[in-house]
Structure 1
Amino acid sequence: MRRPLWTRSGATLPSGFAAFLALGASAAAWGAALPWLRVRYDLGTGGGEEVISAYNLGALVAILACGLLSRRLRPRPVLAGSLVALGGGLTAAALAPTWAFLLVGAVVGGVGFGGAVLVLNTGYAAGPRGVVMVNLVNAVFGVGAIAAPLLVAEWDLPAVLVAIACAAVVALPVVAGPVGAHTPTPPVDRATVVAIAPFAVIGFLYAGVETSAGAWVSTHLTWTGTDPDAAARMTALFWAGLAVGRVVISLVARSPEVIVPASFLLATAGLVTAVNPALAPIGYTLTGLGLAPIIPTALVWLARITPHAHLAGSALLTSSMLGNVIHPVLVGTVTTRDHPATIPLAITTYATLGVLAALWTSRHRRIPVALSTT
């Protein structure tokens, strides 16, 4: 099988960075923009979270379709179509005259997001330096996620969405690079299902923390008296934690069985800290740092305990996307403006359950000793 182009040449790496920059920015922009959207579309003081679920619903559909049709779909056309859908959907949302039209654009953009995230992550992970590359490109994802709230604070949301769409177009040359050759998905047996199941739970709970925090940090800070523009800037601290954590973890990480539970624990501590309005920016930064290595490290963990790594990764990302659709709305149902602390407390529930799930998985899905040091 021919090696992926990026293992022979770095020519497409800049476009890969552009792709992950656009993906990160698109994921973070919606939450930071909720206060602006509520005013623009007259959604009331607590509405608007539907756009985040719509975006993640599109991503979930794309990842499910790519997983179920993996024997028939070719990675390169899927990646090209995904980047076009991302750019087109965001542009449509930017120009949306009504809230319903914006939701449709968000769904289309989410489809592009889901397809690109799946194909690019599995493509980079297949290389001989997969761990380094996956962490590196996801750190760039974090840079985009940091930039988006800052841009939302300075520009109107339509301008930010168009800028992200342009980055997706610039990223199109990456189609020639990391996706590699098409290989059929191996058959699924009972052992594979048993191995994957706890990681699907971890992905679902991880999404409950990351997506809900990204969606509700700005609102929480605003409800505690922070100026909306300042709240959007402070939201960037959460995404900064994610970006920095993914760089740092590649330097110190050794055992996935330790890293994943410890990461959930740090995220839990950060959310508890955020209950205090004066310490909320610090708390959300710690939450981002804790969350940073969970999904990349879980993908490595899966690759070491099952021969069906591609299918397992698809299941992990699918469960995460499902959580992205569900959790922001659930958090919205239990939060009130009169009690802003209900936001970090609700998200803390997911983080605490994540600690328990990761500890159970660490005990029952251990990496063979011969592989744990590789």
Structure 2
Amino acid sequence: MLSVSLVAVVIAASHVLSANAQIVIAHFMAQNAFSYSQGDWTNDINTAKATGLDGFGTALNIALPDYEVDRVADAFVAAENANFKLCFSFDMSRTWQQSDIVSLVATHASSPAMLTYNGGVLVSTFEGEANGNDFWAAIRTSLANEGIKITFAPAFISYRDPSLNGTLLSDFPSIDGFFNWWSWPNDVDALLTTDTDIAYRDAAHSRGGPYIMSVSPWQFKDIDANDAWVELSDTLWNYRWLQAIQDVKPDIVEIVTWNDYAESHYIGDINPNVDLGDAAPNYVNGFPHAAWRIIAQYYISWYKTGTAPAVENDTVVFWYRAHPKAVSCSGGWAPRMADFPADAVFAMSLLSTPATISLDIGSTHAQFDAGVGAAIGSVNFPVEDAQIPFIQIIRNGQTVKSGYGSVFVTESCSWYNFNPFVGVIQ
């Protein structure tokens, strides 16, 4: 019986996770670990385990072989102590030497915390297709000469068109699997489909896999005039999990991300010691996403067991932006695709027995009948300024739980902010 609160989940893990196991990892931006102590790693790992994650796997996203190398060493110590898995994702938008990649993988290949798949150390990337097949084949050979087998499943992001899945295989005979980074709509006002997932899953399986499917709650960035966009993400955290569980059935689910604050898809706690730069704090600070982990816990259990878990603690997780999309702000940059998101409060219920979920903000009211398990609904922003949502779970005509958001929806804004506040009634 799953209690939908952030309680510890028992995770059975050995040095080699079975290729048939359902694995869930989260992308961790090692670039944001500059100020990390051993305790920071331990806290993040314990929080991740309580959510049901098996690891930070193509998650130790490393941009350069500098301070991150030492932080990753700390991460392996913490992961070994916690029976947690880690693996490398090399950010190839930066310049990497083959020897540095080989050295880093070899240093940690024998760690009991290293995530393996099909008997090989799992290695991934962000980008890297421009380096060509020979670059990656040489890395595989160099590691093999040291007695280290790898399972290479990169995120070559230019392969998004489903029709290019065969081209991927012909261009890269060195790959074993594939990580589909694309977990948001492609700059369109439409829900994300599974066409790319299915095509590249089949390609990955023809090589032995794994197919790694990304699942993400949001996408918004506003750090300069060239990096200002928002993708349609209103209900993404719900339907993308259902796509993974019911349609794609990937070998590995990768949550994108644990801590990429600047792109607003973090589900980890906001670490106050992390330097977010000059722009991102304007839309990250005060906008926690921790309650999204409750939804993740529910769907992770379903993905791993094949059955929707029983809910013991009636819960509503809700999220909303702080400003209507049409307002002009005094700072930041108006993001591309700003017309796509709905001006609304979204609420997802996890219930033990059916109830009505009542949603109010200002003069606007909506409600939906929610059954056992998960259900989702929304209420539009009101015409009045400076309003805050009020949410109730009503059963047999009685309010059994209720609560307010912690951020007002206003038409006054000092920075363009499409990053949602995420709250919970439980």
TM-score (norm 2): 0.26
More strand by share: 2
State the structure with bigger RCO (CA 8 A, min sep 6), 1 or 2: 1
